[in-house]
Amino acid sequence: MEDQIKTDILQLIGESRDAFVCSVDELGFPNVKAMFLAKHEGYQTLWFSTNVSAARTSQWKNNNKASVYFYDGEHIHGLMLVGQMEVLTDDETKLAFWKPGDEQYYSLGATDPDYCILRFSAETGNYWGQKKYLFHV
């Protein structure tokens, strides 16, 4: 990957509060929802926190195929990452991501059985910047 494209992609992710995260439901339909990005390592690995009981968590447990999209509507630049989503429920991971204030969503704290971490691992990407660019991770 060219250095400039890598820089642009990492800047787009770094400036994004929201990501549009996709699953495939039990009837084979694509589903999508905006989620706050909790953490990222480059564009290869992304983390989100959510409820174990959420519809989308069940979908990824059944079918780990996923995509994550970042969008800069001002410049109409977009990045789609396609890969696998894992649902992590171990206490070590949950404690590592826990932040003050998360109690409003998970009343039992970091080890709340309804609190989990999603880890997305990208395999391929499409970047629509100055021009279109497809890549493997």
Chain residues that interact with a second copy, rule: CB under 8 A: 17-18, 20, 22-25, 27-34, 63, 65-67, 69, 71, 73, 76, 78, 80, 82, 128
Cα–Cα distance list, 118 to 3, 77, 93 (Å): 29, 25, 10
Q: CA geometry: angle at 22 spanning 120 and 118, to 5°? A: 30
The least distance separating a second copy from the CB of residue 74, rounded to whole angstroms, comes to 11
CB nearer to a second copy: pick between 58 and 93: 58
Interatomic CA distance for residues 28 and 98, integer angstroms:
33
Interatomic CA distance for residues 10 and 37, integer angstroms:
13
CB nearer to a second copy: pick between 30 and 42: 30
The least distance separating a second copy from the CB of residue 58, rounded to whole angstroms, comes to 14
The least distance separating a second copy from the CB of residue 37, rounded to whole angstroms, comes to 13
